[in-house]
Amino acid sequence: MSGPTSEHPNAVRVREIVAEVTRLGDNAPLLAIVSEDVINHVDGNSPLGGDHFGREESLNKFPILFEMSGGTMRFETLNMIADDHFAIWLQRVTAERDGRELDHVLTVVWRFQGEKVVEMWDHFADVEEWDRFWHVD
């Protein structure tokens, strides 16, 4: 049994879809890979923190973040590895909002069942910094 690699088919698929989402600023490409009953666990107390159930609730966070950042939010993939069951996406997220700048490392873990992502976890390098940036008064 071999470990996760950056060239595993799940890593390649997720990397291609993430590139498309980033290019479009829209989550539509994720519909092909995310299960209708996906669960997304998001660390922290930002407006998007907590557990999100179902594809619509889980994926609606992307347009919200783009809107809250005035379209400035960008993802840079630092690494992507996967095996048959999990993909791990290490990314750098940058954004501007209300005169503040965010430059943050985020790890997203995607759990696969067959061809679909059924569960995701968003882990932030500094969840307090993340929460402060996205906090809505």
Per residue of the chain (137 residues), give pLDDT as tens.
Answer: 577 888 999 999 888 888 887 777 677 888 889 999 999 999 998 888 999 999 988 888 777 888 899 989 888 889 999 999 999 999 999 999 999 999 999 999 999 999 999 999 999 999 999 999 998 66
Q: Given this model, what pLDDT does residue 21 score?
A: 78
| Inside any domain, residue 47 | yes
User: Which two structure tokens, joined as six digits, stand for 1?
Assistant: 């049994």
Domain of 103? 9-134
Q: Is residue 30 a part of any domain in this protein?
A: yes
| Residue 45 maps to a domain | yes
Q: What is the CATH number of the domain that holds 42?
A: 3.10.450.50
CB atoms within 10 A of CB 63: 12
Query: Is residue 113 helix, strand or coil?
Result: strand
> Is 4 within a domain?
no
What is the C-alpha separation between 135 and 68, in angstroms, rounded?
A: 10
Identify whether 40 is part of a domain. Answer: yes
What is the tally of structural domains in the chain? 1
Whether 2 maps to a domain, the answer reads no
Residue with tokens 């992502």: 117
Q: Shortest CA distance to 22 belongs to which of 72, 60, 70?
A: 72
In a domain, 16, yes or no: yes
pLDDT for 29 equals 83
Considering the domain boundaries, does residue 1 fall inside one?
no
Among 127, 121, 130, CA closest to 103: 130
